[in-house]
Amino acid sequence: MSFIEQWLYEAVPALIGSEWRTGQQTFAVDNPATGETIARVAELGAEDTRDAVTAAYNAGVAWRATPVKQRSALLRRWFELIIEHADDLARLMTLEQGKPLAEAKGEVTYGASFIEFFAEEAKRMAGETLPSHGADKRLLVLREPVGVVAAITPWNFPLAMITRKCAPALAAGCTVVIKPAEATPLTALAAAYLALEAGLPAGTINVVTASKPADVGEVLTTDPRVRKVSFTGSTPVGKRLLAQCASTVKKTAMELGGNAPFIVFDDADVDAAVDGAIASKFRNAGQTCVCTNRFLVQDGIYDAFVSKLTERVKALKVGDGLADGSVIGPLINQAAVDKVQRHVDDAMSHGARLVCGGKPHAAGERFFTPTVLADVTTAMAVADEETFGPVAPVFRFKQDEEAIQMANDTPFGLAAYFYATDYRRIWRTMEALEYGMVGVNEGLISTELAPFGGVKESGLGREGSHHGLDEFTELKYVCVGGL
């Protein structure tokens, strides 16, 4: 029996240094598909968080001095253990988060890929020597780990949002305190368990679980020993944490919300655009930060796109993520279902046409029927707010400039997509979009090999690629004189 099976229906402790801490109280973790409590997790507070920071701070002294090949080998072993436990991790993720099992397996592979990548990238964390301003001086630039990192993560990708931060941090010689989302702490704890199994020293990775995050967050954003806060989550919480970090001038990375446009121009391959639309919009039941929030479709192709999209959307099988063939699982909680319904109702009350779906699904309380709305306009809430559910609102435009203006008319700037074939239009559009990431004739863009992140109120910093390692290093300039 895997260690994960033993955790289910039990009280699962959090990890501080080498101690698995139970805490005075626990909170429930529910399966969103059934409402059943699948485990209880330690309810920790400010004092426990300070202990975790102390464990990370102390472990950092030896960890940053550990030769890079050794750090790399330990990370590589962690990667291998995650892959060896892929089936168990995926099942656990589906149980606590709801996504279909095939998607959960995909997330395990994707999440592990960051550890594999940064185990290698650690070896390329080079400093530099610079031409000198004096004959008797030499100028060096050392690259050093920033120190203790707080990783605060959301529920929609319970593993990958953690490894995307922890792998580069550990590779660079930092130590981490993870605060996973209250809905999905089990995957985080399982990943940390495997990190210790892999031989990562106690204290390099700590997990503080809490159902009310404010106290934990207060410590992580104000304790002077924490040198970087790397947050993924909503824009309002990100703004609050940024403000809290100001008092001790921490480095920050903010991976925040989006309002992704998906533009389909008249010259697009409609079938390819519909494939991309399904992948981008309906993965994780529409609960991804990079998922399309607005389809902007040109007049000449509008009816064909809506009709083909609707045909595919109607065929999406809704159900428990563990059931065979389910491709749309539940939403994370009742508030998420209510928000999706509010967006649909608001659009219809302002004149949108319901093409399919539009209401909760018979599979259970937290399931929403995949929906297509046509004749959507900028007067509707879906134009401005992240829906975070399986709803595809289709706007209409005539001129290219109008689409660019609509696409950029938002405080967000995470991901954008467009489908076209004319190469001049492709270049013009790619350059005009005010976004951190652009998919051209492509609906899925995330990979550990490329820098992930947004502009405007979608955030600061990049995760993945060699840029992701830079985020966890400081430059130290050394001037050696008197030569």
Q: Which of 222, 234, 341, 441 binds ligand NAD (CB under 6 A)?
A: 234
Regarding 385 and contact with ligand NAD (CB under 6 A), the answer is no
Q: Is 255 a catalytic residue?
A: yes
- The residue count of the chain comes to 483
Tell the smallest beta-carbon distance from residue 14 to ligand NAD (Å): 13
Q: Which is nearer to ligand NAD, 182 or 275 (CB)?
A: 182
Tell the smallest beta-carbon distance from residue 164 to ligand NAD (Å): 8
Q: Where does residue 106 rank: exposed (0-12), middle (13-18), buried (19+ CB within 10 A)? A: middle
* Span from 87-95, 234-242, 267-275, 362-370 in contact with ligand NAD (CB under 6 A): 234-242
* Span from 100-108, 133-141, 174-182, 321-329 in contact with ligand NAD (CB under 6 A): 174-182
CA atoms within 13 A on the CB side of 17: 12
Residue 200: both structure tokens together: 């990562």
Q: Which of 49, 94, 113, 153 binds ligand NAD (CB under 6 A)?
A: 153
Tell the smallest beta-carbon distance from residue 88 to ligand NAD (Å): 23
Q: Which of 179, 283, 339, 366 binds ligand NAD (CB under 6 A)?
A: 179
Q: Which is nearer to ligand NAD, 207 or 392 (CB)?
A: 207
Using CB under 6 A as the binding rule, the residues of this chain from 76 to 135 that contact ligand NAD are none
Q: Which is nearer to ligand NAD, 165 or 361 (CB)?
A: 165
Regarding 256 and contact with ligand NAD (CB under 6 A), the answer is yes
154, 275, 461 from 407: Cα distances, Å: 26, 20, 22
Place of tokens 């508030």: 335
Total residues at the site for ligand NAD (CB under 6 A)? 28
Q: Which is nearer to ligand NAD, 240 or 467 (CB)?
A: 240
Q: Which of 111, 154, 158, 413 binds ligand NAD (CB under 6 A)?
A: 154
Tell the smallest beta-carbon distance from residue 404 to ligand NAD (Å): 22
Using CB under 6 A as the binding rule, the residues of this chain from 398 to 417 that contact ligand NAD are 414
> Which among 96, 103, 255, 386 is annotated as catalytic?
255
x/- letters, 258..277, toward ligand NAD (CB under 6 A): x-------------------
62, 65, 160 from 12: Cα distances, Å: 29, 32, 21
Using CB under 6 A as the binding rule, the residues of this chain from 338 to 367 that contact ligand NAD are none
Identity at 74, one-letter amino acid code: L
Region label for 420, one of left (φ > 0), alpha (ψ between -120 and 50) or beta (otherwise):
beta
Tell the smallest beta-carbon distance from residue 398 to ligand NAD (Å): 30
Query: Beta 226-232 vs 205-207: how paired, if at all?
Result: unpaired
55, 178, 464 from 232: Cα distances, Å: 23, 12, 14
Tell the smallest beta-carbon distance from residue 82 to ligand NAD (Å): 19
Q: Which is nearer to ligand NAD, 188 or 200 (CB)?
A: 188
Using CB under 6 A as the binding rule, the residues of this chain from 203 to 232 that contact ligand NAD are 213-214, 217, 232
x/- letters, 9..48, toward ligand NAD (CB under 6 A): ----------------------------------------
Tell the smallest beta-carbon distance from residue 283 to ligand NAD (Å): 12
User: What residues contact residue 423 under an 8 Å CB cut-off, 6+ apart?
Assistant: none
Q: Which residues of 372-401 are buried (b: 16+ CB within 10 A; e: fewer)?
A: bbbbbeeebbbbebbbbbbbbbbbbbeebe
Regarding 284 and contact with ligand NAD (CB under 6 A), the answer is no
Report the DSSP beta bridge partners of residue 477. Answer: 141
Q: Which is nearer to ligand NAD, 282 or 302 (CB)?
A: 282
Q: Which is nearer to ligand NAD, 19 or 182 (CB)?
A: 182
Q: Which residues contribute to the site for ligand NAD (CB under 6 A)? A: 152-157, 161, 179, 181-182, 213-214, 217, 232-234, 237, 240-241, 255-258, 289, 386, 414, 454, 459
Enzyme catalytic residues:
255
